[in-house]
Chain A
Amino acid sequence: GAVVSQHPSRVICKSGTSVKIECRSLDFQATTMFWYRQFPKQSLMLMATSNEGSKATYEQGVEKDKFLINHASLTLSTLTVTSAHPEDSSFYICSANPLSEGDTEAFFGQGTRLTVV
């Protein structure tokens, strides 16, 4: 299957700092990538849709100024958590589909465990 690589896998940062998470599609191009957040023992919640060359689309309740998304190329999307606070501590996962939409299989990165202290 297609490979999506996410880095870093784990990061600890101080309150008030910013953290950047990268999501790369290694063997396919993705005009659209997706960012999810997962709290312990809970399901994944879609945060935003990252669109190559245009602005990201955020789900209701997600602060776009806190979670900055950049999709500068067909193989890379980045999520920056700005001015991080302890409540931002969570597991962040990205996904991409080899086609932009439709009946296609979603492939996920390894996830990033963010801890804000």
Chain B
Amino acid sequence: KQEVTQIPAALSVPEGENLVLNCSFTDSAIYNLQWFRQDPGKGLTSLLLIQSSQREQTSGRLNASLDKSSGRSTLYIAASQPGDSATYLCATGGYKLSFGAGTTVTVRA
């Protein structure tokens, strides 16, 4: 059974600092890895999808890397803003996803 871990559980940074969020998984035979954002009491917004054959994906200030051999993915958010405050979840699986518990980010103005 795939186990997904996210460290740290919470992170607080001043505005402008770069964010580094970590995700690890136990089974390297994954279809893809997806990063989501969740605001309090809301659903999930898909941020980035990395296919199993890819090593990274970029969208604006977001960059996600994938290293299947070590079972790790990292989400980088450049020049953080207060609007980036949210919980970030990683998940892997194909169509049935296994989620990490998330990293709750607070960006202080």
Measuring CB to CB, which residues of chain A are less than 8 angstroms from any residue of chain B? 1, 6, 32, 34, 41-46, 49, 91, 93, 95, 97, 100-111, 113
Contacts and interface: CB of A to CB of B under 8 A. Distances in A.
5 contacts: A43-B89, A44-B91, A46-B96, A46-B98, A105-B49
B76 interface: no
Nearest to B49: A105
A113 B42 CA distance: 9
A91 B87 CA distance: 15
Contact of B102 (A6, A43, A106, A111): A43
A110 B41 CA distance: 9
Contacts of B91: 44, 106
Interface residues of B, number: 25
Given A6-B43, A102-B31, A108-B43, A97 B89 contact: no
A93 B38 CA distance: 12
B44 A108 contact: yes
Given A1-B46, A95-B97, A97-B95, A105 B34 contact: yes
B97 A103 contact: no
